[in-house]
Structure 1
């Protein structure tokens, strides 16, 4: 056996595993038939070119000479008996089915039945085609494209007809339970417009293999398998997409996808439905992924832009079965009838009587055997406990997205704090931050921000953002309307950007004038001391929960405030000065995984906020020089094994750094340019 590979070509782990399998099979054939020409394995085609140029590539092309499909099929089947065989097979191959046209098709279950059981019955017909090709091209067999495994189920289309070339493509699946659909090839994908960015249409936004920025098709498939492994045998999970909310026809509110649906599918369009049907034993991840989406509609797309359509649900989002959402009831009825248990979050299903929600909204009299009657008879159990348990622990890719959002947002905060142009209105500062978020690379704001100047900061979720900021010209103070504003007012800003669907949550407080007064500095430093102490506890080794960190923050705040002259009790702190929790989980949502208790111990990979604050009312019981001040400092933190990782570390919070920030920014390139984040 001869293997030819460019010396500078470095294989990834899965590619190396794949090569290992091919080499083992080829060497065994060479040992058994020493008299014939030795086999040659060659990495060929555009994949080699892309790798040598350092580019991402979705293809791996392997040319194999001097080998018949029959030989390879037999040796491949034997390779499972070797010590490395089972692990390689689990990684690379899925259970094979035979369609009506006798073509092998991969199914979802990663089991390992006999390879030849499904193939040798029709191999004789395949060999006729192979011999014909050999006569035309001599000893060299032409290569066909076959899937390179990128997700647990991997197609082996035509692997036994010819010597193989393995290509990382999306798994073909059935459009409906009774109709098979041919795979869409890469050249066709380039000519197709989808309802969201893809690598084929937006290579500047997504890398090869990614469904959404930073998150690969493999990761989405792994998430679905993890959910299936949590469900009981024969259970079905139903997760709807969000719907478009309208202010007035045809004016709509900005669309935000259901985070549970997004977590499982990566699909960003409304009016869709994800169904995970568990097909294997308890504890296993075997399942069938059904995805119902809006069909292609030239008239609707003329107005609203492209839709991905049913075929893209198969080609791009790797559904096992896909269909038009209009016909979902027809396909769902048999699925739900055979389900042992049905899981769904009824609130998300009944927010609007359309799509799937309309199917479970009980009519005056449900027809026997209808979907409504099935759900009514069977009952629906909540799914959120399973979903939030999965979502609360972040993968490396998720943390990277949140780090990017924190980096962009933190730099935008710095620019706002250091700008020489004074913001006279809260909405001006709001517009500036949103501009910097988007120009820095964020998709949008993570939420409606709090831009609270002066005493507006005493309202924790103040979002009107329509008042004047504290810095006013001396000549304006004669106006009775502005008499309450002072040059030294603070502004509290709670804002953040979203990147790849993941958000960051940052709060900073600073003087509009650029200089802290002594009282402001003292109270700010007290809050900062507490915040830094709480952040330091965000690691698994401390064996602590968010609720316990909150208790620490209360004790620390009481101590800090008493040192500043406050006479207060624990009850006064909780009810007046610090009435909110010190933190919450964060991820696809700002307040992420609401059903996951804050009393549970923090684990590495979880992302939380740490946001102590003090809000001093204009009340005689509090020291005069602190009245009317609202200060909150918040960071997004990833829990580590031995220490925390602050994802919003770019946003300055030390008093001395506030003062030095204009000088530091003047010596560096613009903080929020896309180029600086590359």
Structure 2
């Protein structure tokens, strides 16, 4: 055992490495520590890191460091049954471990510390693994004492299947989060202060919470996927976090969560405090600010009840932070676009599998369950929203969500679905007849919606706006509905009853993303929108009976590029002949499905 000291002090105050070498395997174990640790503290670390992991050593050889030669240390080792052997200047030469090897080991550690600067303690387990694995590979014997630290959310160490080195959340690096905060501060007024609270945990019943989803603005700025935190950004304070403190009861029931140390080391906060100190520290930050920005959707009394906030609100100096964050979130970075492409691909594959399933299982509930299953087994964390599975006249309800009806033979089913992948969502809709063929009235309406979809896509380019595309689509639909006899004239007021929706919306971390950005804003490369023309004819509509109770929507996800657009959901068929061929030639388990339904009928008699 020995110490490598005189190292740069980390945020936790570590300035030395306790090096422990197994004399039999030659494997090393590195423990970050402070030079000022007492012998009692060293003994505590020794018990936790050596005795608990590897049992009691039979003998320890070290130089005559006063911490190892103290009476307390000797008594402790005697009590454990360990024999101490002290050398004068170096570790033992047993089994070929020479003084040169020891010096190389120390040089390697110091070189790594220079690379990682004040964050070296965070990477110490990785350094240990690399050294031990490379050393033992020659002997075909691997040995590692890495203890993966749980920070309350996936990390490269705990979830290497999800995150690469340097990523704070899957697909997004720590550097990108730092750049987002830099860009945020450039838009924040000189004496402005932004307060962004994490999403709260919402309860379904007294003790049962809903599945937690982080607020998009908080996640975008911090990378923290956990509840209870509060981020503060300002030109003077920089990036500050107030973190919840988990007690032993919380850890037992809900697991480890990130605290002050993680805020500094993992989330790269410049300052971090326990949340209980918010009322002591935040008021002074507020008092020196001319304008306060906060996340209205996640605002909490903990800061809103403070006198400086109340005073600022009274004088009209409190604004919604989304005025800034939505500007930043509108144009996606390459990393964000990669995640959005992957999310769209998962949604497309899931919906295609569900379409193939629908002929055998024409039930809204089954199709809803099927698409969710297909999304999640492909890596999605959750659905972006409750799937819309509207069979027959249910498809004429724009956001129908009951999903509890059997789809009648010959009816259409409208499915609007989306999934979320590492904070980024997809959104697409297809409408089809599970029976395998469109009726004549259904095809008439479907072709009108399909042509509107195609023509609207052609307008997607830099400089255009969602509102312009919407206006074009309305004119096209009015004309088409008038020609087939549903509207008495193109100017009929009944149109808004049949289509009360916009042609599309922005898409990103939220389904209706960047809601503060106007639909009149000219589109730019990197913006993602939806194009979703539809027609929703209630059964009670005063028009041709053959069209009553039909709902059709065709929705695609579109990325604006330098030269025009890219459809991210193009892999799901939308041509009539493609859909009919797909359903009639490639549907799954038709015979098995029929047998299963027949068995169900027999069992119910």
Aligned partner of 1:580 in structure 2 is 501
Q: Deviations over 1:319-357 (max 9, x none)?
A: 11112222222221222222233211344314xxxxxx3
Q: Deviations over 1:12-58 (max 9, x none)?
A: xxxxxxxxxxxxxxxxxxxxxxxxxxxxxxxxxxxxxxxxxxxxxxx
Output the CA distance in 2 between the equivalents of 1:435 and 1:550.
34
Identify if the C-alpha distance between structure 1 residues 488 and 665 changes in structure 2 by more than 3 Å, giving closer, same or farther: closer
> What is the deviation of 1:659?
2.4
Identify if the C-alpha distance between structure 1 residues 642 and 334 changes in structure 2 by more than 3 Å, giving closer, same or farther: same
Output the CA distance in 2 between the equivalents of 1:381 and 1:236.
10
C-alpha RMSD of matched pairs (Å): 2.8
> What is the deviation of 1:257?
1.1
Q: Is the 8 A contact 2:294 2:319 kept in 1?
A: yes
Output the CA distance in 2 between the equivalents of 1:498 and 1:595.
21
Aligned partner of 1:404 in structure 2 is 342
Q: Is the 8 A contact 2:359 2:434 kept in 1?
A: no
**Which of the residues 383, 393, 407 maps onto 1:455?**
393
Identify if the C-alpha distance between structure 1 residues 343 and 371 changes in structure 2 by more than 3 Å, giving closer, same or farther: closer
Output the CA distance in 1 between the equivalents of 2:219 and 2:158.
20
Q: Is the 8 A contact 1:273 1:291 kept in 2?
A: yes
> What is the deviation of 1:244?
0.7
Aligned partner of 1:656 in structure 2 is 577
Aligned partner of 2:535 in structure 1 is 614
Q: Is 1:508 equivalent to 2:420 in the alignment? A: no
Equivalent positions of 1:539-550 (< 5 A) are 539-540=461-462, 543-550=463-470
Q: Is the 8 A contact 2:356 2:587 kept in 1?
A: no
**Which of the residues 161, 167, 176 maps onto 2:115?**
167
Q: Is 1:294 equivalent to 2:240 in the alignment? A: no
Q: Is the 8 A contact 1:190 1:200 kept in 2?
A: no
Output the CA distance in 2 between the equivalents of 1:246 and 1:303.
16
SS in 2 for 1:637: strand
Aligned partner of 2:304 in structure 1 is 360
Q: Is the 8 A contact 2:482 2:490 kept in 1?
A: no
Equivalent positions of 1:236-635 (< 5 A) are 236-279=193-236, 288-350=238-300, 357-361=301-305, 379-419=317-357, 422-470=360-408, 487-540=409-462, 543-566=463-486, 567-572=488-493, 574-619=495-540, 621-635=542-556
SS in 1 for 2:318: coil
Output the CA distance in 1 between the equivalents of 2:107 and 2:212.
45
Aligned partner of 1:637 in structure 2 is 558
Equivalent positions of 1:178-257 (< 5 A) are 183-187=121-125, 190-257=147-214
Q: Is the 8 A contact 1:446 1:590 kept in 2?
A: yes
SS in 2 for 1:658: helix
Q: Which moved more, 1:553-562 or 1:577-586?
A: 553-562
Output the CA distance in 2 between the equivalents of 1:620 and 1:336.
56
Identify if the C-alpha distance between structure 1 residues 312 and 611 changes in structure 2 by more than 3 Å, giving closer, same or farther: same
Q: Which moved more, 1:213-222 or 1:571-580?
A: 571-580
Output the CA distance in 2 between the equivalents of 1:616 and 1:193.
53
Output the CA distance in 1 between the equivalents of 2:477 and 2:493.
12
Equivalent positions of 1:65-84 (< 5 A) are none
SS in 2 for 1:419: helix
> What is the deviation of 1:233?
1.6
> What is the deviation of 1:518?
2.0
Output the CA distance in 1 between the equivalents of 2:115 and 2:386.
44
Unaligned runs of 5+ in 1: 1-134, 146-161, 173-181, 280-286, 351-356, 471-486, 668-678
Identify if the C-alpha distance between structure 1 residues 242 and 557 changes in structure 2 by more than 3 Å, giving closer, same or farther: same
TM-score (norm: length of structure 2): 0.72
Identify if the C-alpha distance between structure 1 residues 557 and 166 changes in structure 2 by more than 3 Å, giving closer, same or farther: farther
Output the CA distance in 1 between the equivalents of 2:483 and 2:580.
25
Q: Is the 8 A contact 1:141 1:163 kept in 2?
A: no
Output the CA distance in 2 between the equivalents of 1:297 and 1:335.
28
> What is the deviation of 1:256?
1.6
Q: Which moved more, 1:250-259 or 1:555-564?
A: 555-564
Output the CA distance in 2 between the equivalents of 1:607 and 1:463.
25
> What is the deviation of 1:554?
0.7
Identify if the C-alpha distance between structure 1 residues 382 and 374 changes in structure 2 by more than 3 Å, giving closer, same or farther: closer
Q: Deviations over 1:638-657 (max 9, x none)?
A: 11121211122222212222
SS in 2 for 1:609: strand
Q: Is the 8 A contact 1:418 1:662 kept in 2?
A: yes
SS in 1 for 2:571: coil
> What is the deviation of 1:195?
1.2
Identify if the C-alpha distance between structure 1 residues 528 and 219 changes in structure 2 by more than 3 Å, giving closer, same or farther: same
Q: Deviations over 1:177-200 (max 9, x none)?
A: xxxxx9534429853112111111
SS in 2 for 1:525: helix
Q: Deviations over 1:383-425 (max 9, x none)?
A: 2211111111111111111111110110111111112762243
Q: Which moved more, 1:234-243 or 1:290-299?
A: 290-299
SS in 1 for 2:502: coil
Q: Is the 8 A contact 1:406 1:650 kept in 2?
A: no
Equivalent positions of 1:93-132 (< 5 A) are none
> What is the deviation of 1:507?
0.9
> What is the deviation of 1:166?
5.4
Output the CA distance in 2 between the equivalents of 1:340 and 1:664.
67
Output the CA distance in 2 between the equivalents of 1:551 and 1:373.
44
> What is the deviation of 1:539?
1.3
Larger Rg over CA atoms: 2
Output the CA distance in 2 between the equivalents of 1:664 and 1:637.
29
Q: Is the 8 A contact 1:554 1:573 kept in 2?
A: no
TM-score (norm: length of structure 1): 0.65
> What is the deviation of 1:236?
1.3
Identify if the C-alpha distance between structure 1 residues 374 and 557 changes in structure 2 by more than 3 Å, giving closer, same or farther: closer
Q: Is the 8 A contact 2:343 2:426 kept in 1?
A: yes
> What is the deviation of 1:297?
2.5
Identify if the C-alpha distance between structure 1 residues 459 and 421 changes in structure 2 by more than 3 Å, giving closer, same or farther: closer
